[in-house]
C-alpha cells in the first residue's frame, strides 16, 4: 500500500478524497491502469481473433488429413490386392516356365530320336544317286572288300545294310552276302 493510500485510510470519512495531492496521484495512476487495461483488452481481442482463425485453419487441416488418410487406406488396400495378384501371376509364370523347360527337354530328346531314325532310314533307303559307280554291279555290292577302290567304304556300308535287309531292289530276294 502506497503512502497516499495510508494517509487516506487514516483520515476520517468526512475528509474529501477529491482534494489533495494523494487524490490526484491515484487518479493519474488509475487512468494509466485503465489505459493499460484498454490496450490489453485490444490485444486480447486481436489474439482471440487470431486464435479463431487458427482454429478454423486447424479444422480445415484436420478435415484434409482425414480425407488423405481415407485415400491412403484405399490405396493401401488396392496395393495389397495388386501385390497378391502379382504374386499369383509370378507363381503361375514359374509353373509355366517349368512346364516349358520340361517340354523343351522332351522336344530335344524327340529331335535326337528323329535324327537317329532319319540316319537309320537313310542308310536303309540307299537312293541310286548315293551309290558309287562301282557299287552298281552285283559283285561290287556283295563283296566290296575284294575291290581296292576309293568307294569301298560306301560299298561296305551298303553291303552291311543289305545284310540286315536280306533283300535289295535289283538284286532280288535271297541273295547271300559275302562271307565275313
Q: Phi/psi of residue 167, each to 5°? A: -155, 135
And the C-alpha cell for 52? 479463431
- Report whether pLDDT(136) > 50: no
Q: Which residues pair with 167 in a beta bridge?
A: 173
pLDDT at 175 over 80: no
pTM above 0.75, yes or no: no
Is 33 a residue whose pLDDT tops 90?
yes
DSSP symbol at 133: G
The model's confidence at residue 178, banded by pLDDT at 50, 70 and 90, is very low
d(CA 4, CA 27): 12
Task: Return the pLDDT at 23.
Answer: 84
**Backbone phi, then psi, for 27, in 5-degree steps?**
-65, -40
Residue 130 confidence (pLDDT): 45
Q: In whole angstroms, what is the distance from residue 33 CA to residue 15 CA?
A: 25
For the segment 30-54, the average pLDDT, to the nearest whole number, is: 96
* Contact criterion met (CB below 8 Å) for 27 and 21: no
Round the average pLDDT of the chain to a whole number and report it: 75
Amino acid at each position: 500500500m502506497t503512502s497516499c493510500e495510508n494517509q487516506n485510510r487514516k483520515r476520517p470519512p468526512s475528509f474529501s478524497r477529491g482534494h489533495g495531492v494523494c487524490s490526484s496521484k491515484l487518479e493519474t495512476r488509475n487512468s494509466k491502469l485503465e489505459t493499460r487495461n484498454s490496450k490489453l483488452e485490444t490485444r486480447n481481442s486481436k489474439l482471440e481473433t487470431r486464435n479463431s482463425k487458427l482454429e478454423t485453419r486447424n479444422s480445415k487441416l484436420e478435415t484434409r488429413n482425414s480425407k488423405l488418410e481415407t485415400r491412403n487406406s484405399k490405396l493401401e488396400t488396392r496395393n495389397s490386392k495388386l501385390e497378391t495378384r502379382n504374386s499369383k501371376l509370378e507363381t503361375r509364370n514359374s509353373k509355366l516356365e517349368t512346364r516349358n523347360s520340361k517340354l523343351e527337354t522332351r522336344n530335344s530328346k524327340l529331335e535326337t530320336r528323329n535324327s537317329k531314325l532319319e540316319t537309320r532310314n537313310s542308310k536303309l533307303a540307299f537312293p541310286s544317286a548315293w551309290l558309287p559307280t562301282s557299287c552298281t554291279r552285283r559283285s561290287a555290292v556283295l563283296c566290296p572288300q575284294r575291290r581296292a577302290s576309293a568307294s569301298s567304304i560306301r560299298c561296305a556300308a551298303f553291303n552291311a545294310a543289305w545284310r540286315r535287309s536280306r533283300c535289295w531292289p535289283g538284286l532280288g530276294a535271297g541273295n547271300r552276302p559275302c562271307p565275313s
